[in-house]
Structure 1
Amino acid sequence: MENIDIGKKIERYRTAKGYSSRELAKMAEITPSMLSQIERGLANPSIQTLKVLAKALDVPTFSLLLEETNTEELVVKSKNRKKMVVENLSYELLSPDFTGTLATAILTVPPNTSSSDKLLEHKGEEVAFILEGKIKVFLNEEEYILETGDSVKIPSHMKHKWENNFDENAVILFSVTPPAF
Protein backbone atom coordinates (compact mmCIF):
# COMPACT_ATOMS: atom_id res chain seq x y z
CA MET A 1 0.00 0.00 0.00
CA GLU A 2 1.35 3.39 -0.96
CA ASN A 3 1.56 6.28 1.48
CA ILE A 4 -1.39 8.61 1.25
CA ASP A 5 -0.37 12.25 0.98
CA ILE A 6 -3.18 13.79 3.01
CA GLY A 7 -1.53 17.21 2.90
CA LYS A 8 -1.51 17.30 -0.90
CA LYS A 9 -5.16 16.25 -0.96
CA ILE A 10 -6.09 19.02 1.46
CA GLU A 11 -4.14 21.52 -0.62
CA ARG A 12 -5.87 20.35 -3.84
CA TYR A 13 -9.33 20.64 -2.25
CA ARG A 14 -8.43 24.06 -0.80
CA THR A 15 -7.22 25.49 -4.11
CA ALA A 16 -10.19 23.97 -5.97
CA LYS A 17 -12.51 25.82 -3.55
CA GLY A 18 -10.50 29.01 -4.05
CA TYR A 19 -9.54 29.33 -0.37
CA SER A 20 -6.26 30.82 0.76
CA SER A 21 -4.31 28.96 3.47
CA ARG A 22 -5.30 31.62 5.97
CA GLU A 23 -9.00 31.34 5.09
CA LEU A 24 -9.06 27.56 5.46
CA ALA A 25 -7.05 27.67 8.68
CA LYS A 26 -9.51 30.17 10.14
CA MET A 27 -12.52 28.08 9.06
CA ALA A 28 -10.97 24.95 10.58
CA GLU A 29 -9.86 26.82 13.70
CA ILE A 30 -6.21 25.82 13.33
CA THR A 31 -3.19 28.04 12.87
CA PRO A 32 -2.03 28.89 9.34
CA SER A 33 1.34 27.48 10.36
CA MET A 34 -0.22 24.12 11.27
CA LEU A 35 -2.12 23.99 7.95
CA SER A 36 1.07 24.80 6.06
CA GLN A 37 2.93 22.00 7.83
CA ILE A 38 0.09 19.53 7.09
CA GLU A 39 -0.03 20.49 3.40
CA ARG A 40 3.76 20.15 3.07
CA GLY A 41 3.74 16.74 4.79
CA LEU A 42 5.71 18.00 7.79
CA ALA A 43 2.91 17.32 10.29
CA ASN A 44 0.32 14.58 10.56
CA PRO A 45 -3.12 15.88 11.47
CA SER A 46 -5.17 14.24 14.20
CA ILE A 47 -8.48 12.63 13.26
CA GLN A 48 -10.26 15.60 14.83
CA THR A 49 -8.25 18.03 12.71
CA LEU A 50 -9.04 15.95 9.60
CA LYS A 51 -12.73 16.10 10.47
CA VAL A 52 -12.77 19.89 10.82
CA LEU A 53 -10.70 20.38 7.66
CA ALA A 54 -13.03 18.07 5.73
CA LYS A 55 -16.06 19.92 7.07
CA ALA A 56 -14.55 23.29 6.12
CA LEU A 57 -13.76 21.95 2.64
CA ASP A 58 -17.24 20.34 2.37
CA VAL A 59 -15.84 16.89 1.55
CA PRO A 60 -16.31 13.57 3.37
CA THR A 61 -13.53 12.90 5.89
CA PHE A 62 -12.84 9.48 4.37
CA SER A 63 -12.01 11.14 1.01
CA LEU A 64 -8.87 12.52 2.64
CA LEU A 65 -7.80 8.98 3.59
CA LEU A 66 -8.37 7.19 0.28
CA GLU A 67 -5.43 6.12 -1.84
CA GLU A 68 -5.10 7.80 -5.19
CA THR A 69 -6.29 5.78 -8.17
CA ASN A 70 -3.80 5.42 -10.98
CA THR A 71 -6.17 6.21 -13.85
CA GLU A 72 -3.76 4.72 -16.36
CA GLU A 73 -4.57 1.29 -14.89
CA LEU A 74 -8.28 1.83 -15.63
CA VAL A 75 -7.84 2.12 -19.41
CA VAL A 76 -7.77 -1.00 -21.58
CA LYS A 77 -6.64 -0.43 -25.16
CA SER A 78 -8.24 -2.88 -27.61
CA LYS A 79 -4.85 -4.28 -28.63
CA ASN A 80 -4.00 -4.98 -24.97
CA ARG A 81 -7.16 -6.84 -23.94
CA LYS A 82 -6.68 -10.06 -22.02
CA LYS A 83 -7.95 -12.89 -24.22
CA MET A 84 -8.87 -16.43 -23.37
CA VAL A 85 -10.10 -19.28 -25.57
CA VAL A 86 -11.93 -22.18 -23.95
CA GLU A 87 -13.23 -24.97 -26.21
CA ASN A 88 -13.80 -22.64 -29.21
CA LEU A 89 -15.36 -19.90 -27.07
CA SER A 90 -13.37 -16.68 -27.14
CA TYR A 91 -13.44 -14.23 -24.22
CA GLU A 92 -11.96 -10.72 -24.35
CA LEU A 93 -11.83 -8.94 -21.01
CA LEU A 94 -12.87 -5.29 -21.35
CA SER A 95 -12.29 -4.58 -17.67
CA PRO A 96 -8.66 -4.12 -16.65
CA ASP A 97 -8.86 -7.19 -14.39
CA PHE A 98 -11.14 -9.16 -12.08
CA THR A 99 -10.70 -6.91 -9.06
CA GLY A 100 -13.68 -4.95 -7.84
CA THR A 101 -17.30 -5.96 -8.09
CA LEU A 102 -17.87 -5.86 -11.85
CA ALA A 103 -16.24 -7.41 -14.90
CA THR A 104 -17.17 -6.86 -18.54
CA ALA A 105 -16.15 -9.05 -21.46
CA ILE A 106 -16.96 -9.93 -25.05
CA LEU A 107 -17.83 -13.56 -25.71
CA THR A 108 -17.63 -14.92 -29.25
CA VAL A 109 -19.56 -18.14 -29.85
CA PRO A 110 -18.80 -19.75 -33.24
CA PRO A 111 -21.53 -21.56 -35.24
CA ASN A 112 -22.57 -24.98 -33.90
CA THR A 113 -21.04 -24.30 -30.49
CA SER A 114 -22.48 -23.96 -27.01
CA SER A 115 -21.08 -22.52 -23.81
CA SER A 116 -21.48 -25.85 -22.01
CA ASP A 117 -23.10 -29.27 -22.35
CA LYS A 118 -25.59 -28.58 -19.59
CA LEU A 119 -27.11 -25.56 -17.91
CA LEU A 120 -24.72 -23.99 -15.43
CA GLU A 121 -25.17 -21.45 -12.64
CA HIS A 122 -22.89 -19.06 -10.78
CA LYS A 123 -23.30 -16.52 -8.04
CA GLY A 124 -22.79 -13.52 -10.29
CA GLU A 125 -25.64 -11.51 -11.75
CA GLU A 126 -25.16 -11.02 -15.48
CA VAL A 127 -26.42 -8.69 -18.21
CA ALA A 128 -25.67 -9.60 -21.82
CA PHE A 129 -26.11 -7.62 -25.05
CA ILE A 130 -25.91 -9.22 -28.49
CA LEU A 131 -23.44 -7.22 -30.59
CA GLU A 132 -23.53 -9.45 -33.70
CA GLY A 133 -25.38 -12.52 -34.94
CA LYS A 134 -28.03 -14.65 -33.26
CA ILE A 135 -27.83 -16.94 -30.24
CA LYS A 136 -30.13 -19.18 -28.27
CA VAL A 137 -30.05 -18.62 -24.53
CA PHE A 138 -31.44 -21.16 -22.09
CA LEU A 139 -32.79 -19.74 -18.82
CA ASN A 140 -33.82 -22.61 -16.54
CA GLU A 141 -36.27 -24.59 -18.73
CA GLU A 142 -37.04 -21.75 -21.17
CA GLU A 143 -35.29 -21.03 -24.50
CA TYR A 144 -35.02 -17.65 -26.23
CA ILE A 145 -33.51 -16.61 -29.55
CA LEU A 146 -31.65 -13.31 -29.18
CA GLU A 147 -30.57 -11.24 -32.17
CA THR A 148 -28.30 -8.24 -32.66
CA GLY A 149 -29.43 -5.47 -30.31
CA ASP A 150 -31.28 -7.78 -27.90
CA SER A 151 -30.25 -8.16 -24.28
CA VAL A 152 -30.93 -10.39 -21.30
CA LYS A 153 -30.47 -10.18 -17.55
CA ILE A 154 -29.49 -13.41 -15.84
CA PRO A 155 -30.06 -13.34 -12.08
CA SER A 156 -27.56 -14.86 -9.68
CA HIS A 157 -27.73 -18.68 -9.51
CA MET A 158 -30.09 -19.01 -12.51
CA LYS A 159 -29.17 -22.02 -14.61
CA HIS A 160 -28.28 -20.93 -18.14
CA LYS A 161 -26.23 -21.61 -21.24
CA TRP A 162 -25.57 -20.12 -24.68
CA GLU A 163 -26.01 -22.11 -27.90
CA ASN A 164 -25.21 -20.96 -31.44
CA ASN A 165 -27.03 -23.17 -33.97
CA PHE A 166 -26.76 -20.51 -36.67
CA ASP A 167 -24.36 -19.90 -39.57
CA GLU A 168 -22.39 -16.96 -38.16
CA ASN A 169 -20.51 -16.04 -35.01
CA ALA A 170 -22.54 -14.66 -32.14
CA VAL A 171 -20.73 -11.84 -30.37
CA ILE A 172 -22.01 -11.02 -26.90
CA LEU A 173 -21.05 -8.14 -24.63
CA PHE A 174 -21.67 -9.05 -21.01
CA SER A 175 -21.08 -7.76 -17.52
CA VAL A 176 -21.01 -9.87 -14.38
CA THR A 177 -21.18 -8.77 -10.78
CA PRO A 178 -19.35 -10.05 -8.84
CA PRO A 179 -16.87 -11.24 -11.48
CA ALA A 180 -17.32 -14.96 -12.11
CA PHE A 181 -16.23 -16.81 -15.24
Structure 2
Amino acid sequence: MGELDIGKKVEKYRKAKGFSSRELAKIAEITPSMLSQIERGLANPSIQTLKVLAKALDVPTFSFLLEETNTEDLVVRSNERKKMVVENLSYELLSPDFTGTLAAAIMNVPPHTSSSEKLLEHKGEEVAFLLEGKVKVFLDDEEYILETGDSVKIPAYMKHKWENNFHETAVILFSVTPPVF
Protein backbone atom coordinates (compact mmCIF):
# COMPACT_ATOMS: atom_id res chain seq x y z
CA MET A 1 0.00 0.00 0.00
CA GLY A 2 1.32 3.38 -0.98
CA GLU A 3 0.94 6.59 0.95
CA LEU A 4 -2.29 8.47 0.35
CA ASP A 5 -1.73 11.85 -1.34
CA ILE A 6 -4.96 13.80 -0.96
CA GLY A 7 -3.38 16.99 -2.29
CA LYS A 8 -2.44 15.39 -5.61
CA LYS A 9 -6.01 14.16 -6.00
CA VAL A 10 -7.42 17.63 -5.27
CA GLU A 11 -5.07 19.07 -7.90
CA LYS A 12 -5.97 16.37 -10.42
CA TYR A 13 -9.73 16.95 -10.01
CA ARG A 14 -9.25 20.74 -10.09
CA LYS A 15 -7.32 20.58 -13.37
CA ALA A 16 -9.85 18.12 -14.84
CA LYS A 17 -12.62 20.67 -14.10
CA GLY A 18 -10.55 23.45 -15.67
CA PHE A 19 -10.37 25.52 -12.47
CA SER A 20 -7.41 27.69 -11.53
CA SER A 21 -6.27 27.47 -7.91
CA ARG A 22 -7.82 30.88 -7.22
CA GLU A 23 -11.16 29.85 -8.77
CA LEU A 24 -11.42 26.66 -6.71
CA ALA A 25 -10.34 28.44 -3.52
CA LYS A 26 -13.06 31.05 -4.06
CA ILE A 27 -15.77 28.43 -4.75
CA ALA A 28 -14.70 26.36 -1.74
CA GLU A 29 -14.37 29.47 0.43
CA ILE A 30 -10.80 28.72 1.52
CA THR A 31 -7.72 30.85 0.97
CA PRO A 32 -5.64 30.29 -2.15
CA SER A 33 -2.59 29.72 0.06
CA MET A 34 -4.44 26.98 2.02
CA LEU A 35 -5.42 25.27 -1.27
CA SER A 36 -1.82 25.52 -2.47
CA GLN A 37 -0.55 23.96 0.77
CA ILE A 38 -3.11 21.14 0.49
CA GLU A 39 -2.17 20.41 -3.13
CA ARG A 40 1.55 20.38 -2.30
CA GLY A 41 1.04 18.07 0.67
CA LEU A 42 2.11 20.70 3.19
CA ALA A 43 -1.27 20.85 4.93
CA ASN A 44 -3.83 18.17 5.74
CA PRO A 45 -7.37 19.35 5.08
CA SER A 46 -10.06 18.79 7.68
CA ILE A 47 -12.98 16.55 6.81
CA GLN A 48 -15.12 19.69 6.48
CA THR A 49 -12.64 21.20 3.99
CA LEU A 50 -12.62 17.91 2.04
CA LYS A 51 -16.42 17.96 1.89
CA VAL A 52 -16.41 21.56 0.60
CA LEU A 53 -13.72 20.76 -2.00
CA ALA A 54 -15.61 17.62 -3.08
CA LYS A 55 -18.80 19.62 -3.55
CA ALA A 56 -16.98 22.33 -5.51
CA LEU A 57 -15.32 19.70 -7.73
CA ASP A 58 -18.50 17.60 -8.02
CA VAL A 59 -16.82 14.40 -6.80
CA PRO A 60 -17.68 12.13 -3.84
CA THR A 61 -15.76 13.07 -0.68
CA PHE A 62 -14.45 9.51 -0.32
CA SER A 63 -12.74 9.76 -3.74
CA PHE A 64 -9.95 11.74 -2.03
CA LEU A 65 -9.38 8.83 0.35
CA LEU A 66 -9.16 5.97 -2.16
CA GLU A 67 -5.75 4.53 -2.89
CA GLU A 68 -4.53 4.72 -6.45
CA THR A 69 -4.68 1.48 -8.41
CA ASN A 70 -1.38 0.36 -9.84
CA THR A 71 -2.47 -0.54 -13.39
CA GLU A 72 0.46 -2.92 -13.74
CA ASP A 73 -1.22 -5.11 -11.10
CA LEU A 74 -4.31 -5.43 -13.33
CA VAL A 75 -2.48 -7.21 -16.17
CA VAL A 76 -2.12 -10.99 -16.01
CA ARG A 77 0.40 -12.46 -18.46
CA SER A 78 -0.54 -15.88 -19.84
CA ASN A 79 2.65 -17.44 -18.47
CA GLU A 80 2.08 -15.89 -15.01
CA ARG A 81 -1.49 -17.05 -14.30
CA LYS A 82 -2.20 -18.51 -10.89
CA LYS A 83 -3.03 -22.18 -11.36
CA MET A 84 -4.69 -24.64 -9.07
CA VAL A 85 -5.68 -28.27 -9.35
CA VAL A 86 -8.66 -29.57 -7.41
CA GLU A 87 -8.89 -33.35 -7.72
CA ASN A 88 -8.85 -33.85 -11.50
CA LEU A 89 -9.92 -30.34 -12.54
CA SER A 90 -7.44 -27.58 -13.22
CA TYR A 91 -8.13 -23.86 -13.03
CA GLU A 92 -6.20 -20.90 -14.38
CA LEU A 93 -7.13 -17.58 -12.81
CA LEU A 94 -7.52 -14.87 -15.45
CA SER A 95 -8.16 -12.16 -12.87
CA PRO A 96 -5.13 -10.90 -10.94
CA ASP A 97 -6.64 -12.16 -7.66
CA PHE A 98 -9.91 -12.67 -5.80
CA THR A 99 -10.32 -9.06 -4.67
CA GLY A 100 -13.23 -7.04 -5.98
CA THR A 101 -16.60 -8.37 -7.02
CA LEU A 102 -15.71 -10.36 -10.15
CA ALA A 103 -13.26 -13.11 -11.03
CA ALA A 104 -12.67 -15.02 -14.24
CA ALA A 105 -10.95 -18.37 -14.75
CA ILE A 106 -10.46 -21.17 -17.24
CA MET A 107 -11.49 -24.62 -16.02
CA ASN A 108 -10.19 -27.77 -17.72
CA VAL A 109 -12.37 -30.85 -17.30
CA PRO A 110 -10.51 -33.97 -18.50
CA PRO A 111 -12.38 -36.74 -20.33
CA HIS A 112 -14.58 -39.00 -18.20
CA THR A 113 -14.50 -36.77 -15.11
CA SER A 114 -16.85 -34.40 -13.34
CA SER A 115 -16.52 -31.29 -11.19
CA SER A 116 -18.06 -33.00 -8.17
CA GLU A 117 -19.90 -36.11 -7.04
CA LYS A 118 -23.15 -34.27 -6.47
CA LEU A 119 -24.70 -30.98 -7.49
CA LEU A 120 -23.25 -28.05 -5.60
CA GLU A 121 -24.41 -24.48 -5.03
CA HIS A 122 -22.71 -21.24 -4.00
CA LYS A 123 -23.59 -17.61 -3.59
CA GLY A 124 -21.79 -16.55 -6.77
CA GLU A 125 -23.57 -15.97 -10.06
CA GLU A 126 -21.67 -17.51 -13.00
CA VAL A 127 -21.50 -17.16 -16.75
CA ALA A 128 -19.56 -19.91 -18.52
CA PHE A 129 -18.44 -20.21 -22.15
CA LEU A 130 -17.18 -23.45 -23.67
CA LEU A 131 -13.89 -22.72 -25.44
CA GLU A 132 -13.13 -26.32 -26.49
CA GLY A 133 -14.75 -29.75 -26.40
CA LYS A 134 -18.14 -30.87 -25.10
CA VAL A 135 -19.47 -31.03 -21.57
CA LYS A 136 -22.69 -31.86 -19.79
CA VAL A 137 -23.91 -29.25 -17.32
CA PHE A 138 -26.48 -30.12 -14.67
CA LEU A 139 -28.72 -27.24 -13.57
CA ASP A 140 -31.01 -28.32 -10.73
CA ASP A 141 -32.97 -31.26 -12.22
CA GLU A 142 -32.08 -30.59 -15.87
CA GLU A 143 -29.09 -31.66 -18.00
CA TYR A 144 -27.69 -29.88 -21.05
CA ILE A 145 -24.89 -30.77 -23.45
CA LEU A 146 -22.76 -27.73 -24.27
CA GLU A 147 -20.52 -27.68 -27.30
CA THR A 148 -17.72 -25.31 -28.32
CA GLY A 149 -19.13 -21.78 -28.49
CA ASP A 150 -22.12 -22.45 -26.21
CA SER A 151 -22.57 -20.57 -22.96
CA VAL A 152 -24.67 -20.82 -19.81
CA LYS A 153 -25.65 -18.51 -16.98
CA ILE A 154 -25.88 -20.10 -13.55
CA PRO A 155 -27.80 -17.98 -11.02
CA ALA A 156 -26.61 -17.73 -7.42
CA TYR A 157 -27.51 -20.76 -5.28
CA MET A 158 -28.55 -22.90 -8.27
CA LYS A 159 -27.34 -26.47 -7.80
CA HIS A 160 -25.03 -27.44 -10.64
CA LYS A 161 -22.10 -29.56 -11.74
CA TRP A 162 -20.01 -30.20 -14.85
CA GLU A 163 -19.51 -33.68 -16.31
CA ASN A 164 -17.29 -34.62 -19.24
CA ASN A 165 -18.33 -38.06 -20.54
CA PHE A 166 -16.57 -37.41 -23.83
CA HIS A 167 -13.11 -38.21 -25.23
CA GLU A 168 -11.48 -34.77 -25.17
CA THR A 169 -10.83 -32.21 -22.45
CA ALA A 170 -13.52 -29.57 -22.06
CA VAL A 171 -12.10 -26.06 -21.63
CA ILE A 172 -14.52 -23.64 -20.00
CA LEU A 173 -14.07 -19.91 -19.52
CA PHE A 174 -16.16 -18.62 -16.67
CA SER A 175 -16.74 -15.48 -14.65
CA VAL A 176 -18.25 -15.43 -11.21
CA THR A 177 -19.50 -12.63 -9.01
CA PRO A 178 -18.76 -12.42 -6.18
CA PRO A 179 -15.56 -14.44 -6.68
CA VAL A 180 -16.14 -17.75 -4.91
CA PHE A 181 -14.61 -21.06 -5.92
TM-score by length of 2: 0.94
Structure 1 position 2, deviation (Å):
4.0
After TM superposition, the structure 1 = structure 2 runs for residues 72-91 of structure 1, keeping only pairs within 5 Å, are 72-91=72-91
Structure 1 position 87, deviation (Å):
2.4
Corresponding residue for 1:105?
105
- Cα RMSD, aligned residues only: 1.4
Distance 1:22 1:180 in 2: 49
Helix, strand or coil: the match of 2:129?
strand
Helix, strand or coil: the match of 1:8?
helix
- What amino acid is the match of 1:42? L
Distance 2:22 2:138 in 1: 65
Identify unmatched segments of 5+ residues in structure 2.
Answer: none
After TM superposition, the structure 1 = structure 2 runs for residues 51-70 of structure 1, keeping only pairs within 5 Å, are 51-70=51-70
Distance 2:163 2:88 in 1: 12
After TM superposition, the structure 1 = structure 2 runs for residues 132-151 of structure 1, keeping only pairs within 5 Å, are 132-151=132-151
Identical-pair percentage: 85
Residue 126 of structure 2 is aligned to residue 114 of structure 1: no
**Which whole-Å deviations, capped at 9, do the CAs of 1:13-35 have from their partners, x for residues lacking one?**
11222222111111211111000
Helix, strand or coil: the match of 2:51?
helix
Distance 2:91 2:84 in 1: 5
**Which whole-Å deviations, capped at 9, do the CAs of 1:121-161 have from their partners, x for residues lacking one?**
22222111111111100111210001112111112222111
Distance 2:82 2:3 in 1: 30
TM-score by length of 1: 0.94
Helix, strand or coil: the match of 2:180?
coil
How many corresponding residue pairs?
181
Query: Which structure 1 residue ranges, 4+ long, deviate > 2 Å from structure 2?
Result: none
